[in-house]
Amino acid sequence: MQKLIFSILLTLCIPTAYAHKVVGISDGDTMTLLVEGKPLKIRLANIDAPERKQAFGQKSKESLSDICWGTDATYEAQTVDRYGRTVAVVFCNDVEANTEQVRRGMAWVYPKYNKDSMLPAIEADARDKKIGLWSDREPVAPWEFRRQLRTR
């Protein structure tokens, strides 16, 4: 009897990842999932994608759409940002979208917030191979692009 109770308690303690439909892609690092019938805005953790009006902004959005749009995604929440978005690592069809965006040259590692020790090497590989935004002569990091907009 004790083994049965222990097994039940152990099962209840194991976190279960639920899949949620990806119903929106705002840009290269933001998506919307349908969670319990309600939209949940997710900001991909550890990365920063080009802004919409920035070079590669649209391509980055299209890349994230290719990876996740319409799929059932799971996520590992890390925090909530100042805009109320859940910051998370997202998996679409067993592909970690955050890392895949960097691998495709569609996002930078966000040095201020990165917690993934593997990402800088993946970014360096994309840069060396001139993949995606790294094919641009002088790519501007999104945080620099936003700073330039604020100082105008």
pLDDT confidence of residue 29:
99
Selected catalytic residue, list 36, 51, 96, 147: 51
Q: Assess whether 152 carries a catalytic annotation.
A: no
Does the residue 111 lie in any domain? yes
Planar angle of CA 119, 47, 22, nearest 5 degrees: 115
pLDDT confidence of residue 9:
38
pLDDT confidence of residue 1:
57
The range of the structural domain enclosing residue 90 comes to 18-150
Q: Please state the domain count of the chain.
A: 1
**Residue 152 pLDDT grade (very low, low, confident, very high; cuts 50, 70, 90):** confident
Selected catalytic residue, list 36, 43, 123, 138: 43
Does the residue 130 lie in any domain? yes
Q: Which CATH number belongs to the domain containing residue 97 in this structure?
A: 2.40.50.90
Residue percentage of the chain with pLDDT more than 70: 89
Q: Assess whether 82 carries a catalytic annotation.
A: no
Planar angle of CA 61, 117, 106, nearest 5 degrees: 15
Does the residue 133 lie in any domain? yes
Selected catalytic residue, list 85, 103, 104, 123: 85
Q: Assess whether 85 carries a catalytic annotation.
A: yes
pLDDT in tens, 92-111: 999 999 999 999 999 999 99
Task: Give the Å distances, CA to CA, from 2 to 7, 9, 14, 145.
Answer: 9, 11, 19, 61
Single pTM value for the model: 0.88
Does the residue 1 lie in any domain? no
Does the residue 10 lie in any domain? no
Does the residue 8 lie in any domain? no
